Amino acid sequence: MSTRYTKDHEWIRLDGDVATVGITEHAQDALGDIVYVELPEIGRAVTKGDDAAVVESVKAASDVFAPATGEVVAINQSLDGAPATINEDAEGKGWFFRLKLSAPEELNDLMTDEQYKDFLKTLE
């Protein structure tokens, strides 16, 4: 499945029944230099739309919401020492956490790459 996007600028990419979650290039660009990330605990159950993580930049702190319901099965521990990885590669190495989805069909409600690009145009 391709990457899906939320209106809060999170992305989610499904691989089997586990999905990787992070913030978009647009979000990291708006935040500026990221200085700290608070990741969820492994084993934590999250519901779509819940606060799942926090990202802090020199400008602001921002919640990262769960784009889908599931259990956190992995976190990107490399962000602890290098939160700037998010600025460098927000939609790759800068991922935040992985979820074992309990309702994969929720992803159908999220935007495709094309829809997200169109959504961003409405924000300009």
Prediction pTM value: 0.95
Whether pLDDT at 95 is above 70: yes
pLDDT tens for each residue of 32-65: 999 999 999 999 999 999 999 999 999 999 999 9
For every residue of 18-38, DSSP letters joined together read EEEEEE-HHHHHHH-SEEEEE
Predicted pLDDT at 1: 58
Domain 4-104+112-121 has CATH 2.40.50.100: yes
pLDDT for position 17: 85
CA distances from 99 to 50, 52, 59, 68, 86 (A): 13, 11, 28, 8, 19
Mean of pLDDT values over 77-85: 95
Q: Is pLDDT of 10 > 80?
A: yes
